[in-house]
Amino acid sequence: MVKSFRLPNELYYHGDEVIYTAILTQSGTGPGTGGFRLDTNANKELQVSADWVGRVWGRTNCTFFDNSGSMNSSNPGGTACATGDCGNLVECQGAGGPATLAEFTYASSQKQSFYDISLVDGYNLPIAIRSLVSESDDPDLANIPPNLVNPVCIGSPALLAPPGDTSDQDFGTNSSYPLPLEQTISVADVADWCPFPLLILPPERPTDGVYPYPDDVIKRPIFSPCESACSKWNKPQYCCTGSHADPDSCQPSYYSTQAKKVCPDAYSFAYDDQTSTFIIPQGAGFEVVFCPSGRSTNILATFGDQLAELAQTGHVSRAIRDLDE
């Protein structure tokens, strides 16, 4: 039994007409590829096993010589891709980053699927996940209101709509079930959300070599990807390891709190699962969308009770179904 797994690159992104997808299979049977070139407005449908566990991300500004390496030494560290690189390979064989991740556990012993958008390893591109519940023959999936299951994370100012905009509230849904969108953060806030020391592509230094203080007055590049505190410094207090390997001793860093403001439905650090994991009955496929525009969603804070009920019972009650009333 296989499930549909679509990876469309829907929109043009800051002049980069091409991204390279990356796919890491952690268990189950993967799609038979670790990544591929994806042109603007293109999409590709892949098949994975019903018990697949893995992650998907996008890579930017890539130059490859062939499937085994890169001819581009201008990117940070001499990597093939400026962001999301996985050892200079077109087809990834291991993790890469820093990058915005879409993570999936298709099946579990509880007959549930788990998925999330993660910024734990950093941020490079906006991502959205559309759960294909409406295409299922299982009524427990087909009856799930679509505004419960389609998270969007937009942390790039050029693709963020101004507060009050509802242009993407119908992403994967319909007018009866509009997506709850985060409507307070401004485009200027998103332009500066990444802590300055974590910028992957910082602005050029002034002629005297010294950045002015405070650094929030420095104009940043339009494409401004961000490392996480964990990926940058690899310290227990940021990575929730060692003496900080439990929820009580590992608290969100400044990076995590900033990331959560920009993308409320995304994982921001290791123990952020209560406000970032989507759980639905297993059996649906998923669609990953790179570079959507609009506003980030705020689904888990808005419909947390309904999602908790769905996770606990596996069924769509009348209270869940009547969200539009």
pLDDT the model gives residue 15: 36
Q: What is the pLDDT of residue 203?
A: 78
DSSP character string of 227-251:
--HHHHH--HHHHT-GGG-STTT--
Q: Is the dihedral of CA 102, 235, 26, 65 positive or negative?
A: positive
**CATH code, domain carrying 15:** 2.60.110.10
**For 55-59, 78-82, 205-209, which range has the lowest pLDDT when averaged over its residues?**
205-209
- Residues pairing with 289 in the sheet: 128
User: Cα(142)–Cα(316) distance, rounded to whole angstroms?
Assistant: 9
Residue bearing the bigger pLDDT, 138 or 70:
138
Q: HSE-up of 178 (CA within 13 Å, CB side)?
A: 11
What is the tens place of the pLDDT at every residue in 114-130? 999 999 999 999 999 99
Backbone angle region of 84, left / alpha / beta, with phi > 0 → left and psi within -120 to 50 → alpha: left
Of 217, 188, 184, 189, the closest CA to residue 203 belongs to 217
164 pLDDT higher than 50: yes
Instruction: Tell me the C-alpha distance between 54 and 27, whole Å.
Output: 7
Least confident window among 3-17, 76-90, 219-233 = 3-17
CA 130 and chain centroid, separation: 12
Range of the domain at 236: 2-321
pLDDT at 70: 44
Structural tokens at position 213: 């203080």
> What sign results for the dihedral spanned by CA atoms 101, 102, 108, 113?
positive
- Three-state secondary-structure class, residue 275: helix
Phi, psi of 105 (to 5 degrees): -125, 105
- What's the maximum distance between 2 C-alpha atoms anywhere in the chain? 65
Nearest by Cα to 44 from 56, 36, 53: 36
Q: Which residues pair with 47 in a beta bridge?
A: 4
Give residue 175's pLDDT: 85
Which residue would you say has higher pLDDT here, 104 or 172? 104
Query: How long is the chain?
Result: 325
Gap between the Cα atoms of 288 and 246, Å rounded: 31
Say how far apart CA 278 and CA 299 lie, in whole Å. 10
Residue 257, both tokens = 């709190």
Rounded Cα distance between 125 and 119, Å, is 10
> Tell me: the pLDDT tens digits for 50-62?
889 999 999 998 8
Element (H, E) at 101: strand 101-105
Span 217-245, pLDDT tens digits: 677 777 889 999 999 999 999 999 999 99
- Which pLDDT does position 66 carry in this prediction? 54
Count of structural domains within the chain: 1
Going from the C-alpha of 103 to that of each of 23, 174, 205, 220, 262, the distances in angstroms are: 10, 25, 36, 29, 19
Task: Give just the sign of the alpha carbon dihedral 50, 56, 104, 158.
Answer: negative
Report the distance separating Cα 212 and Cα 227, nearest Å. Answer: 21
Percent of the chain with pLDDT over 70: 85
Structure token pair of residue 43? 């999409």
